[in-house]
Amino acid sequence: MMGAPAWLARIYLDPDTFRYYLPSLLVGVLHDTGYIDWALECLLPAGRKRRTERKEWTEFWDGLSDKQRDAIRAYLTGIRSMLGNPTDPADQHLHLLDDAALIWGLSGR
């Protein structure tokens, strides 16, 4: 089992470089929600426990401005509204969306 390719890019790219490419990934998913797992995995800390105290995550998080974090929160809210159809294959990733909402500080998961 291998992680989503976009998440793997975060491992190999400098956090600044990854933040540069992240918006294009997020916009791409708006056009094809079949790749939602790629975007959500990039918005979550690595690992099953999603620990936010790891160095890699704090470097990524600290490099974002408050305005950028708010944009990501709005993105997560928008994605949630797009996934209203329970037959959509992307619904299998709702648990990732719930994890991301919690980590990014959205209430009402």
CB 39 within 8 A of CB 104: no
**What are the angstrom distances between the C-alpha of 85 and each of 30, 73, 74, 103?**
15, 21, 20, 24
Share of the chain above pLDDT 90, in %: 24
What global pTM score does this model have?
0.78
pLDDT digits (tens, 9 = 90+) for 4-19: 566 667 778 888 988 9
Report the C-alpha gap between 60 and 107 in whole angstroms: 22
Report the C-alpha gap between 90 and 52 in whole angstroms: 25
Instruction: Name the nearest CA neighbour of 10 among 42, 54, 50.
Output: 42
**What are the angstrom distances between the C-alpha of 27 and each of 49, 66, 86, 109?**
27, 19, 22, 22
